[in-house]
Structure formats: structure tokens, C-alpha cells
Amino acid sequence: MTPSSSIASPGAAPAHDEHHDHHPNYLVDGTTIKSWLLTVDHKRIGLMFLFWVLLFFLVGGIFALLIRVELLTPGPTIMDAMTYNRTFTLHGLVMIFLFMIPAIPAVFGNFMLPLMLGAKDVAFPRLNLLSLYIYLAGAMLALWGMLNGGLDTGWTFYAPYSTHTTTTVAPVLFGAFIIGFSSIVTGINFIVTTHTMRAPGITWFKMPLFVWAIYATSCIQVLATPVIGLLLVLVTVENLFGFGMFDPARGGDPVLFQHLFWFYSHPAVYIMVLPAFGVMSEVVAAFSRKNIFGYRAVAYSSLGIAFVGFFAWGHHMFVSGQSTFVGGLFGVLTMLVGVFTAIKVFNWVGTVYKGAVDFKTPFAYFCGFLFFTVFGGMTGIALGTVSLDVPWHDTYFVVAHFHFIMVGATIMAFLAALHYWFPKMFGRTYHEGWGLVSAALIILGFNATFIPQFLVGNNGMPRRYYEYPERFQALNVASTAGASLLAFGFVIIAMYLTYALLYGRASGKNPWRSKGYEWLTESPPPTHNFVGPQPTYPEEPHFYVDPKKAEVPDAV
């Protein structure tokens, strides 16, 4: 094992501990294909998830660009209506089920959770590997269906359209159903790990906030995913054999479909965004060298969001014919989600107060994140204001809102996590200048893509429109221009990170001087996470207080 010969090597850092040669890091401990495919090491599983998730992000991104190019002109531009309908369906499905839901939990959750809890692995390592293969099996089945016939229902599969359409519904929905099991299995694994594998010294209120976020997310996954699984099976059966659950011509009820669908899919929004919140809590603490301002408030608000997230689904149905009173009820409950998010935002900003800010790439993403969360969150509250949702529902305003809050926040966090933990995972560093440039491009590009969509939604353009009236064009052109900028930012990241992976300088154990627990071990970590005695955890995570200075916590 020569230090610079393969990607796997961490490079020759001068301060290596003497165990290094006897305890190879997880990347080089076994280099055969089999040792990767059959591994039960949570870190290797996390990396394999990273590979697939990035691949699917690329696929979804290409479809996004196709959508944007089609919408450059009011009439047909590069494809026909049927192809367009399949394209946005594929874009939504791939992005949601194959990218955003697994992205942070399956990649960084898998990798970091045991490290942050001082554990040698997750509670059920084999189950962990199984969840990867379930995910891949479901993904392949769904993609096969999309390429052989394709689905044109949109990712919401609303009945009775989805039960009547002649496109191939069954394999795609069944694929999504299978992917759900991966989600449930990962969730159970994380919950049990958090409960049973915390090292001595890590009490519930000394857990890193990323662990809290993953824990809350896992609870939602385990509770909500079975509902969509059931629903997908019902729709498939109805489509194939003409059962009458959702078809009024056979005594069924299409609104029932919507209730069941949003009962999962609304909490699913938090499955996507809570892990992002968790990442950002780590990043803001590490780069402002401060303990989290209001640690408990941030931890509890994750649970709060997970809880009320289950009772807000009806806000997708204000104009579906549900009663006015029920609309009001769901409206109020939606406001509560907003309040919990506000607590987090204020506490993140508070964390910077009296800190020591180092404006590195992950912190740049934190800035973008703050903006997208505040703006995306506030527009969500506006949508919960029942009378305003009447004109906005199912227009581009909604498209812009959910891209801001769930895509914007999730992408910012995903990229922040990738940059923050890159040295941890690979033992190498990337070029900071390029990091900042691409972060700026991405944040700008994202705004340029979706701010025009708020406006075109205000102007009345419905979503899922292949052709649109002339007057919407200018804003659509602006949005497409923004999307190209965004795509360009991603290309740059792909380039310098690949370069860093191959030729980057050795990072050393803890290049950020972070006090997160995961940095207590080597970077990259050895196979069983620690060499020698298990680390001890005398302080809460992110405790940057000068020991000579006052012990007395001062209050603001």
C-alpha cells in the first residue's frame, strides 16, 4: 500500500498514528470487487449509495434541462406533448424517490451516524447492505418501466387518470413500492442504532444534531412509507384489473386517493428536508466555532416537525372539494410547521453570534441554505393561508415554492455535507477557490431558475403545461437561462471533486479543527471506526470554549 498509488489511499499525512499500517483505513481494507459488493461496513455502503444517488441525480438533472428547453418557447420546441408528459413524470419520480429521499440519510446518515455515536457499525449491518440492493432493484424496475412505455401521470399518480392511462403504470409503481422497503429498513436500522449503540458518555442531549435529525426522519419513514406502499399497490391493481377503489364509475372515490397519497407525501417532504437541517446544524457550528445556540430547541423542533408533519397533508387539497372547515383545520396545522422551522432558523443565526466565522465552501452553502429555507418556508406559509392558495394551487408558484424549500435546502445541505465531510471520507482536500466559485454559481443559478417561476405562477401559468399562452414566455426564458447556470455550477463541482479524489492533497485527521464527534477518529476512518480504546466524550459536541475562560454559561 503506497500512499499515493490509488484513490483509496489517504495520502501520506505526516501526523499518522503508528497503528496505520496494521489497521488500514476502510477504503483499502480489501480491494476486490467482491469485498465492496458484499461489504457490511456502513462506510462502504454509504459510499456505494453516494455513487448511485449521484448517478440518478444526473439522470433527473438531464430531464430537468429537457423540460426547461421545451418551455423556452410557448409552442412545441424539442419534443411532442406525450414525450413532455413522460419527461416531467420521470424527472419528478427520479428526483424524489431515487435522489432526494435517500440522498442525505442513506449516504451521510450511513457514514456518519455510527461515527457520531462512537459505535463500530450500525445495529444491523447485513440489513444495511440489503437496503442498498432493495433500492437498486426497485430503481431498475421503475426505470425499465419508464423506458418501456413510460408513465405520463406526474409523480403524484392522481386517480382516476392513473387508473385509466394506457401508459405502463404497473412496473413503475411496483418499483417505487420496492424502494419504499429500502427506506423502511434503513429507518429501522437508524432508530435501533441510536437507541442502543451510543457510546458511554453520549446521552440523548449530547447527541450531535445531525443524529437528532436523522432519528426524527427515520421515525417518519417507518410510519409513513407503508401508507404509500399500500396505495401504490391499490393503484396498480386498479390499473391492471379495474378494481373500483378510486373510480367513481365503479363507486370509488378519487379524493380518497389524494388523502392517502398526501398522508405519505406530505411527511415525505420532511424526510427530504429534516436531514438537510441536521447537516446545517453541524456545518454552522463547525465553521463559526460555536456551540449550537439553543441546542435543545433545535433538537425538539425536529421531533415537532416530524409530528405535526403528519397532520398537514390536507393543505394540498384546499380546492379539491373537501369541506371549508377541514381546509381551515389543515391551514392552521400548516402554520405550526412554519413555527418549528422558524425556531431552527433563528437558532442557526444565533449560533454565529460571538462565533469565529471561517467562510469556507460548506459555509457558503449554509448561506444559500438560509435564504432558500426562509424564502421557501415563508412562501409555504403563504400557501397555507387558505384564500391565497386558491389562485396559486397547481401553478408554477407551487413548483417554485417546493423547489426552494425541499430541493434548494436539500441540495445546499447535500453539497455542504459533501464538502464538509469530503476529507473525512477520502482523506483528501479539494480546491477551496473552485469550491467557492461553484457555490456562488449554484446559488445564483438556483435563484435565477426559480424566482421567475414564482412570478409566472402569480401570473397564472399552471404546472405541467407543455404549451403555454404567449404572455408567460419572458419569465420562462429567464428560468431556462438560470437552469443552465445551475447546471454549469454542477459540472464544475464534478470536475474539481473528481480531481481531488485522484490527486488531492492529504487532509490530515481534522482539517477544519472541528469538534464534531466524527472527527475524533482518523480520516478516512479505519474499518471498525476506531483503533485502540473507544474515544471518550467528556463534552457536548461543538464545545469550543477556551478551558481557561469562564465555565459559567452566559445567557443572551
Q: 462 forms bridges with which residues in the sheet?
A: 395
Name the grid cell of 74: 410557448
Name the grid cell of 103: 440522498
Q: Residue 34 binds which one of ligand HEM, another protein, none, with CB within 5 to 8 A depending on kind?
A: none
For the beta carbon of residue 199, count every other beta carbon within 10 angstroms.
Answer: 17
Between vectors from CA 418 to CA 412 and to CA 424, what angle results, nearest 5°? 145
Q: Residue 104 binds which one of ligand HEM, another protein, none, with CB within 5 to 8 A depending on kind?
A: none
Q: Residue 222 binds which one of ligand HEM, another protein, none, with CB within 5 to 8 A depending on kind?
A: none
Number of residue whose CB is nearest ligand HEM:
92
Alpha helices in 78-208 (DSSP H): 81-93, 101-102, 110-117, 125-147, 161-164, 170-196
Q: Is 483 in the site for ligand HEM (CB under 6 A)?
A: yes
Q: Is 99 in the site for ligand HEM (CB under 6 A)?
A: yes
Among 13, 64, 312, 416, binds ligand HEM (CB under 6 A): 64
State the nearest-atom distance from the C-beta of 193 to another protein, in Å.
Answer: 28
For another protein (CB under 8 A), the number of binding residues is 96
Q: For residue 23, what are the contacts with CB-CB under 8 A and spacing of at least 6?
A: 526, 527, 531
Near another protein in 392-421, by CB under 8 A: 393-395
User: From CA 84, how far away is CA 89, in angstroms rounded?
Assistant: 9
State the nearest-atom distance from the C-beta of 549 to another protein, in Å.
Answer: 7
Q: Is 243 in the site for another protein (CB under 8 A)?
A: no
Name the grid cell of 293: 445556540
Through-space distance between the first and last CA atoms of the chain, rounded to whole angstroms: 53
Contact 12, 3 (CB under 8 A): yes
User: From CA 537, how far away is CA 200, in angstroms rounded?
Assistant: 8
Say which DSSP state 471 is in. Answer: G
Name the segment binding another protein (CB under 8 A); options: 16-24, 196-204, 340-348, 524-532: 340-348
**Helices 170-196 + 209-241 axis angle, to 10:** 150
Contact 449, 41 (CB under 8 A): no
For ligand HEM (CB under 6 A), the number of binding residues is 24
Contact 364, 440 (CB under 8 A): yes
Q: Is 331 in the site for another protein (CB under 8 A)?
A: yes
Near another protein in 69-108, by CB under 8 A: 81-82, 85
Q: Is 88 in the site for ligand HEM (CB under 6 A)?
A: yes
Among 347, 361, 438, 514, binds another protein (CB under 8 A): 347
User: Which among 4, 9, 16, 2 is positioned nearest to 522, based on CA atoms?
Assistant: 16
Site string for another protein, 268-297 (x = CB under 8 A): --------------------xxxx-xxx-x
Among 66, 67, 113, 220, binds ligand HEM (CB under 6 A): 67
Site string for ligand HEM, 145-164 (x = CB under 6 A): ---------xx---------
Q: Is 360 in the site for ligand HEM (CB under 6 A)?
A: no
Which chain residues interact with ligand HEM by CB under 6 A?
Answer: 61, 64, 67-68, 88-89, 91-92, 95-96, 99-100, 154-155, 399, 403, 407, 411, 449, 463-464, 483, 486-487
